[in-house]
Structure formats: C-alpha cells, structure tokens
Amino acid sequence: MIYSLRMSFVIVLMAGLLAGNVPPPPTVIAQAQAPITVEAGDYILVGLSPILAPGEYIGQHSHRGPDLIVVFEGEVIEQEPGGDRTVKSSESWINQAGEMHAVTNGGATKARLWASLLLPKGDTSLSPSAQLPLNVNAGEYNLVGRVLDFAPGSGLQEQYHGGDALFYVMDGEITLLENGTTKQVKAFKSWTEVAGAVYSVTNASGNNARVAMSMLLPKGAEETTFVSTPTLSATQNVPNTSSPTLPATQDVPDSNSQVLPALIGVGLLLILVAGFYLRRRSR
C-alpha cells in the first residue's frame, strides 16, 4: 500500500506540472555570488561538496580558477595569508585564481560546504561532484552558488537561466521535467542546464531533498526567467550579453481548462485501479 500511495502522489504531482500548476518553492538555505573576470576560452564549471568532521582540515592550496565557497551546515575557519576568519552557515567567501588558502573545521559538529569553481579545460586537480564543460566569451561574469531544500511536493516551476548551470542532488531525489520527458535524479547524481534551456523540477517523493547549484552568469543577465511554454533553443556557448529574450509568439487558446480535468481524471482512475488490485490481493 505504501508503494501504491507513493505512485499516486507522483501521478497527481506530475499532472499538476503538466497542467501548468505552480508547486510551492523550495527553501534557500545558503546562496552567494561573486563577480569574476574571464578570458575567452574553454573551461569546466565545477561543483564540489566537501564534508569536514570536527578537527578535519584542507591544507594550504590554490586553484587555477576562481572558487566560491558556501557554508550551509556547521562552520569553518578560512585561513589566508592576510589572516583567519570564521565562516558560519549561510555565509561564503571567494578565492581568485592562484590565491593560497586553507579550511579547518574548528567546531564540534560536521561542516558541509558547496564549492563552485571555474577551471581551465583539462584541469584534473579535483574530483568534482558535478561538472559542465563550457566555451566562454571574454567578459565580466558572476559566479553563483546556491543550496536548496525541497520539501515533499515542492519544486521549481518551468524556467530558464541566463547562464549555464549545473545541479547536484545531495540528499533525496528529484523529478526533472525537460523536453516533454521526466527523469529521476537520485542522491549523488547531477544534471546540467545550458543557458536558455527550459526545465522544471519537483520533489515527488515522500522525503526531503537537497540540491546544490552552480552557475556562470554573464554580468547584467537575468539569472532566472519563468515561462509557461518552452520557446528557447539551448546553446552551450555562454554569451556575454543581457538576459535571453523570448521570441514573439502568436496568441493561442488556453487549453489548461481542458487538460487539467483530464489529467486529474486519469490520476484518480489509476488510484482506484491500484486500490482495487491491492484489496483483491489481501483477500
């Protein structure tokens, strides 16, 4: 019965998404962005999720590109040549390419971090949780990092971004709806969205889910734009321009009033069939 109820929950949620209903949004538990200057070339956008036990540390090191670190659980001591400072949950810092730094968990509980890095193509100094190859135009950008908590039934409505992004599921699982198809993204798996690609996600499970995101956003571009119908074609080249503009479309009749009852009817029918089948098996 638990399985049938969960499947019914998924059916009803996906029916709502397809009919254009907006799910409740996730909770932002940590976020940050920092300006960076990028030379033209091939790069890798990297997401990394370190977990430090009390007393554990990452020794002095540097990277070949900028890295933005967001603390979303516990706290750490960030050590640089200019001095040390404590970075608490929901706070962040950035290191530019070549800057030496170290990180120590001086607290009594574990610390969890989300690191977003833009590294030259071919850099193998890290074992990333997620990565996205990019061809980037020279210009000014923002490196963005964010961690989201999805309660059961919550999600991100249909949208696209002004920059290329990667997503990493830290806990739970997420249902991704893209190009008319759905995909289950489980814990420790990732997906990517190039600039202009339209998608939506829902936590269709009965448990909480946690998702981290990294994005390379051109300066002045709109980070997120909500849409009702996918109209943009995806491109993997990151433009250094303003936010994407939706092409003009002709007015079309609103079909949600016809689609929603049909979808709800299908969902209820499936629930009734599943209940009848389970009752017969229990006899």
Model-level pTM?
Answer: 0.75
Q: Please report, in tens digits, the pLDDT of each residue of the chain (283 residues total).
A: 333 334 334 443 444 444 456 889 999 999 999 999 999 999 999 999 999 999 999 999 999 999 999 999 999 999 998 899 999 999 999 999 999 999 999 999 999 999 999 999 999 999 999 999 999 999 999 999 999 999 999 999 999 999 999 999 999 999 999 999 999 999 999 999 999 999 999 999 999 999 999 999 999 999 999 986 544 333 444 444 333 333 333 343 444 434 444 454 545 555 544 554 555 555 5
User: Are 259 and 19 contacting, i.e. CB atoms less than 8 angstroms apart?
Assistant: yes
Domain extents for the chain?
A: 2-238
Q: Where do we find the tokens 């696209």?
A: 160
Cα dihedral value 162, 201, 153, 31, nearest 10: -40
CATH of 2-238 given 3.40.630.10, 2.40.33.20, 2.40.50.140, 2.60.120.10: 2.60.120.10
User: Are 172 and 150 contacting, i.e. CB atoms less than 8 angstroms apart?
Assistant: yes
Residue 133 CA, distance from chain mean position: 16
Q: Where do we find the tokens 């029916």?
A: 15
Report which of 274, 259, 272, 277 is spatially closest to residue 14, judged by C-alpha positions: 259
pLDDT at 240: 41
User: Are 199 and 160 contacting, i.e. CB atoms less than 8 angstroms apart?
Assistant: yes
